[in-house]
Amino acid sequence: MNKKVLITGGAGYIGSHAAVTFLEAGYDVVILDNFSNGSADTVRRVEDISKRGLRLIEGDIRDKSCLHQIFSENEVYAVLHFAGLKSVAESVSDPLRYYENNVAGTVFLCEAMEEANVRRLVFSSSATVYGDPVENPVSERCLTGKLSSPYGRSKSMVEEVLQDIAAAKPAWHIAILRYFNPAGAHPSGLIGESPNGPPNNLIPYISQVAAGWRDVLRVFGDDYPTPDGTGVRDYIHVQDLAEGHLSALEAINKRAGLHIWNLGTGRGYSVLEVIRAFEIASGRSINFEIERRRLGDVAECWADPTKAQMELNWKANRSLTEMMTDAWRWQKNSLPSA
Ligand code: NAD
Ligand code: WQD
């Protein structure tokens, strides 16, 4: 019998790519999503790509009875926990919503797992927990810095909750994955990132400018202490990220306790380099203007991925060009949302 994974937030951007990866690797999949930022259509496309069926449950991680029912009806081997709210700006204006959904929601999920004797968990954390990193590349040993948003603090708080669970309950196997900047889409062009309204993130914004949905990209600052003055980030292809989850689950299966891994490429690119790469991939020119720095942004943040490479036998292989090519293919297949 195949092992079954519960994917919370599996109708969203990263969770849907992970669902394809796990189905293709022979796992059975149950997706729990409240569709606050995902859709049943995405899940149908996951089935089309993988040519396998899965169980989709519309529900909420904060709904105890829903969780209880899922764990009693399914023999769940592990949980991949993607469900969460992710807008930095929104979290500043509505912090309670972020703490309730991201922190309380994860606590409910872990309680239901404990009750059901399901103790393997892979959690979507973020490089945002490093704040303004004291050094680059950033390793997992780097102190988690002063955080500028409730979103970042919600990730950091969940990490602490999970540390406490692992310390109190040695039967748990927990992977905390700190993603750098996820980008790109599945090469089929069937699933990708679908921001509601104006995108906050660089690559979806560039894609929409290239497609003519938006007039101009605002480049937030060209006076950072970086080679061309614009912000430097570690963009990682969402497919590499999805594969990192498979490797992480296999690794924690062999080792109990809590483990933290950076998922990044180890290479930083500036905003201007990303624009150029997108122009080449799409054959379109990107209209941009330099603006003032965005509040809360750091000059640079890129990963030391050595620990994941050594312990997970995983490496991000896809290039910036592949990220841009796949992001553009997905963009051309998309319809405007707002
Ligand atoms: P996404 O919004 O596309 O996917 C999240 C999914 O979770 C959505 O489908 C949404 O409907 C669902 N969801 C939200 N709250 C829920 C709840 N209470 N119950 C059930 N479902 C719920 O986001 P994503 O980009 O795929 O991110 C996935 C995870 O990775 C998030 O936890 C995010 O914080 C984290 N992360 C994302 C990035 C990024 O840049 N995309 C970077 C680092 C970490
Ligand atoms: C990248 C670079 C911007 C948009 C955020 C979250 C982080 C994580 C990933 C979830 C920066 C510049 C951007 C634009 C621009 N999410 N930029 N014009 O800020 O590194 O990380 O998403 O966990 O928590 O903070 O990503 O894509 O927003 O920005 O010039 O319209 O692009 O200043 O240098 P960021 P981003």
Q: Which of 27, 99, 130, 151 is catalytic?
A: 151
Residue 337 within a domain:
no
238 pLDDT tier (thresholds 50, 70, 90): very high
Residue 330 within a domain:
no
Domain count, the chain: 1
**What pLDDT, in 10s, does the model give residues 96-134?**
999 999 999 999 999 999 999 999 999 999 999 999 999
Write the CATH number for 126.
Answer: 3.40.50.720
Q: Is the CB of 231 under 6 A from ligand 2?
A: yes
Residue 221 within a domain:
no
Q: What are phi and psi of 200, to 5 degrees?
A: -85, -30
pTM of the model: 0.98
Question: Is residue 151 among the annotated active site residues?
Answer: yes
Asked whether the predicted pLDDT for residue 337 surpasses 90, the reply is: no
By alpha-carbon position, which residue is closest to atom 12 of ligand 1?
Answer: 9
Shortest-distance atom of ligand 2 to CA 294: 33
Give distance in angstroms: CA of 84 to centre of ligand 1. 4
**What pLDDT, in 10s, does the model give residues 124-148?**
999 999 999 999 999 999 987 689 8
Residue 58 within a domain:
yes
Asked whether the predicted pLDDT for residue 11 surpasses 60, the reply is: yes
Mean pLDDT of 32-40: 98
Give distance in angstroms: CA of 228 to centre of ligand 1. 32
Give distance in angstroms: CA of 129 to centre of ligand 2. 14
Residue 179 within a domain:
yes
How large a percentage of the chain has pLDDT more than 90? 96
